[in-house]
Structures are given as C-alpha cells and as structure tokens.
C-alpha cells in the first residue's frame, strides 16, 4: 500500500479556496499497514480514502488489514471502494477500523446483500452497477432509531456515537445531542472540527450566535472539513442580513461523513 496526499479545494462563494487534506490509499501488492500508519502520523491526516477495490477482494487479507490498523492505533476516518459483495464480518471489521463510507459496485443479485450488511453497521452507502448507474435515486438515510441500534451494536466506536449525535440534532432532539457527542469525543473521534461544528449548530439552534461563531472559529484551524467554512459563510450572511435583529432562525449544517 502507498499513500497519496490530496487536498480537495472547493471554492467558497467569496472566492476563497477551502482545502480539506486527506490521504488516498493505493494497492501495490504489499499488505503491511505499518508504513501507512507512520505516514498518516507524520502528515497529520485524520481522513483517508481507500480508493483501490483490490484491497478488499481478498476478505481475509482485508480483515487482517483492519485489525492491524486497530492494533497500530490508526485513529482515522476513511472511505472505501468495493467491487465484490462484502460479508458481514468484513464490513464490521472495516467499520471498527474507522471506515464510514463504502461505494459498492455490485451485480443486482449481490446489491441487496451488500446493502443489508452496510446498513447494519451504519455506513454511508453508494451502490451502483458495473456501468456506473446507481441503484438508488436518493441518498440512503437512517432513522434516529436505526442510529440508536447501531450505536448499541458498536458501543465502543466513536463514529457510531457521533452519527447518533448528528441524528438527534437533525431530528431537533437537542437535549439528547450532548450524551453521544460527549461519548464520541471521549472515545477519541479524530475529526475534532466536526465535533466543534456540531456544537456550533447546537448553539445556533438555541439562539446563541456569538457562541456559534466562537466554536466555528476554533473549528477552522488547519485544513478542516469544508462544512466549517460553509457554516461560517452562513453565519456571516445571516448577520449581514440582520437575521439576529429580525428574529430569523439561524440553521447551520452538521456533517457526519468524511466526504466534503
């Protein structure tokens, strides 16, 4: 395996470039995770994309890779591309090692099985056929109850707790957000800016725009997730339009995935 560093640079409305540094993992025939772990640490990356499906065709090797990532304490969030139907054991190992998103290219008779296991462990899912056509017209989502079940199924996984906190926020169950968010932070959720961003969203929902601004300022250090910059723009526009004086509700955007 070898690592390429990439900075997605979407452009904001005001013309500023918004970098989000992450690593892209390629397969070169070597399954040793230790060099990858060292590079991730040296570059300070908290997000990866395993962009080569060959890494997951041999399920035993893929599970061993995920176990090695955990042994080496590679606390990163990552996405993966798969072109063979995954088993429940493989997807559980991937999820426990930090995978949050899977993009699967599967035959129609394999797609239902892949989707079942992916949903069981709470992945963000992209699902299509070999010609690039998607099997679903809309993004696959989860109910709050499903997120609660997943967090119960994977109680020591910080990402499952964070996803539950986001689900509570989106359902406007603001009083419930802090418990799973606190658990996620205690367990070491690696993208601290997303935690600060969610706290900013909560502050905005409770009508504390100044507090939200301070949290977003903290979250913007380094090369954070683009949602932080989008929310800073939303807050700025809201203030400039007199939203705080007109009583217009400020609604900021939470983010629960590694993708920009």
Q: Quote the percentage of the chain above a pLDDT of 90.
A: 68
Q: Which pLDDT score is estimated for 77?
A: 94
SS (H, E, C) the chain: CEEEEEEECCECCCCCECCEEEEEEECCCCCCCHHHHHHHHHHCCCEEEECCHHHHCCHHHHHHHHHHHHHCCCCCEEEEEECCCCCHHHHHHHHHCCEEEEEEECCHHHHHHHHHHHHHCCCEEEEECCCCCECCCCCCCCCHHHHHHHHHHCCCCHHHHHHHHHHHHHCCCHHHHHHHHHHHHHCCCCCHHHHHHHHHHHHHHCCCHHHHHHHHHHHCCCCCCHHHHHHHHHHHHHHHCCHHHHCCCCCCCCCCCCCC
Q: Per-residue confidence at 259, pLDDT binned at 50, 70, 90?
A: low
Q: Where are the domains of the chain?
A: 2-128, 144-246
Q: Per-residue confidence at 23, pLDDT binned at 50, 70, 90?
A: confident
Lowest mean pLDDT among 36-45, 55-64, 142-151: 36-45
Q: Which pLDDT score is estimated for 10?
A: 45
**Predicted confidence (pLDDT) per residue in 63-110, tens digit:** 999 999 999 999 999 999 999 999 999 999 999 999 999 999 999 889
Q: Which residue has the higher pLDDT, 31 or 79?
A: 79
Q: Which residue has the higher pLDDT, 138 or 243?
A: 243
Provide CATH code, domain 144-246.
1.25.40.10
Q: Which pLDDT score is estimated for 1?
A: 80
Q: Which residue has the higher pLDDT, 2 or 189?
A: 189
Provide CATH code, domain 2-128.
3.40.50
């Amino acid at each position: 395996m070898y690592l390429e560093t990439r900075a997605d640079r979407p452009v904001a409305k005001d013309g500023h470039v918004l970098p989000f540094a992450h690593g892209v993992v390629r397969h070169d025939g070597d399954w040793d995770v230790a060099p990858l772990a060292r590079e991730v640490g040296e570059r300070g990356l908290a997000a990866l994309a395993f962009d080569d499906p060959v890494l997951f065709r041999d399920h035993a090797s893929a599970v061993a890779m995920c176990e090695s990532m955990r042994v080496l304490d590679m606390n990163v969030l990552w996405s993966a591309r798969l072109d063979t139907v995954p088993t429940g054991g493989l997807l559980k190992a991937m999820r426990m090692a930090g995978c949050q998103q899977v993009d699967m290219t599967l035959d129609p008779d394999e797609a239902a099985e892949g989707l079942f296991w992916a949903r069981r462990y709470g992945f963000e899912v992209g699902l299509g056929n070999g010609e690039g056509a998607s099997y679903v017209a809309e993004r696959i989502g989860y109910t709050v109850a499903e997120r609660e079940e997943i967090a119960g199924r994977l109680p020591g996984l910080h990402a499952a707790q964070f996803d539950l906190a986001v689900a509570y926020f989106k359902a406007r169950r603001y009083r419930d957000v802090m418990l799973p968010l606190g658990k996620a932070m205690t367990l070491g959720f690696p993208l601290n800016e997303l935690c600060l961003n969610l706290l900013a969203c909560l502050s905005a929902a409770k009508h504390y725009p100044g507090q939200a601004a301070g949290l977003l300022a903290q979250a913007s250090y380094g090369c954070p997730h683009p949602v932080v910059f989008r929310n800073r723009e939303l807050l700025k526009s809201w203030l400039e339009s007199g939203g705080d004086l007109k009583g217009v509700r400020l609604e900021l955007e939470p983010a629960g995935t590694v993708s920009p």
